[in-house]
């Protein structure tokens, strides 16, 4: 291994050396290299200085109500989105199923017509409610009200 490769290897080992993550032999090699190399000695000293600065930094704790709000938003958003996806997928499956049944038994009988009318009515009702809610959402003055 030439000197440039050894130097690069030692530079990569400076951080693990500082964190006591090296074997005894590797630590000894880094220590010897740092004694002979001004660049690595300066880098190691700078890393020690940064480590002491970051250790003294105090992080602000978020308020409890904000933490609770974050937890609620994460725990509610995912099931809600999954629920909407399941409803839409279920409705699409029912429409496809009704289309296949209608195609197989054409012309449909009275029972099929009634069941189809109920399903189509429910789908249209659902779509109209969702559409109306989406239209009114920007002007909903209560959407930011906290419970």
Q: What is the pLDDT of residues 72-123, one digit of tens each?
A: 676 666 777 788 889 889 888 887 887 787 778 777 777 777 877 888 888 8
Average predicted confidence (pLDDT) for the chain:
82
Q: Would you say 95 and 123 are in contact if contact means Cβ atoms under 8 Å apart?
A: yes
Query: What is the token pair recorded at 118?
Result: 């109920």
Per-residue pLDDT, averaged over 43-57, amounts to 88
- Answer whether the bond into residue 53 is a cis peptide, omega within 30°: no
Asked if residue 51 lies in contact with residue 18, where contact means CB atoms within 8 angstroms, the answer is yes
Residue 96 has which token pair? Answer: 């496809």
d(CA 59, CA 17): 26
Pair 57, 37: CB distance under 8 Å: no
Q: How confident is the model at residue 46 (pLDDT cuts 50, 70, 90)?
A: very high
A 10 A CB-CB count for 56 gives 7
Q: How is residue 2 annotated by DSSP?
A: -
Q: What is the mean pLDDT of residues 12-32?
A: 90
Distance, in Å, from the CA atom of 31 to the CA atom of 84, rounded to the nearest integer, reads 60
- pLDDT tier at 143, thresholds 50, 70, 90: confident
What pLDDT shows up at residue 42? 92
Token representation of residue 133: 């809610």
* pLDDT band, residue 68 (cuts 50/70/90): confident
pLDDT at 45 over 90: yes
């Amino acid at each position: 291994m030439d000197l440039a490769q050894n130097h690069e290897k030692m530079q990569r080992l400076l951080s693990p050396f500082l964190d006591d993550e090296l074997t005894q032999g590797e630590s000894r090699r880094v220590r010897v290299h740092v004694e002979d190399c001004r660049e690595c000695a300066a880098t190691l000293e700078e890393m020690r200085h940064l480590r002491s600065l970051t250790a003294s930094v105090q992080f602000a704790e978020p308020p409890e109500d904000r933490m609770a709000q974050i937890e609620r938003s994460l725990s509610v958003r995912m099931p809600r989105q999954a629920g909407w996806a399941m409803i839409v997928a279920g409705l699409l499956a029912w429409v496809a199923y009704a289309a296949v049944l209608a195609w197989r038994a054409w012309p449909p009988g009275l029972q099929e017509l009634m069941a189809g009318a109920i399903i189509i009515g429910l789908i249209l009702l659902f779509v109209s409610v969702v559409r109306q809610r989406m239209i009114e959402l920007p002007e909903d003055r209560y959407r930011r009200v906290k419970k």
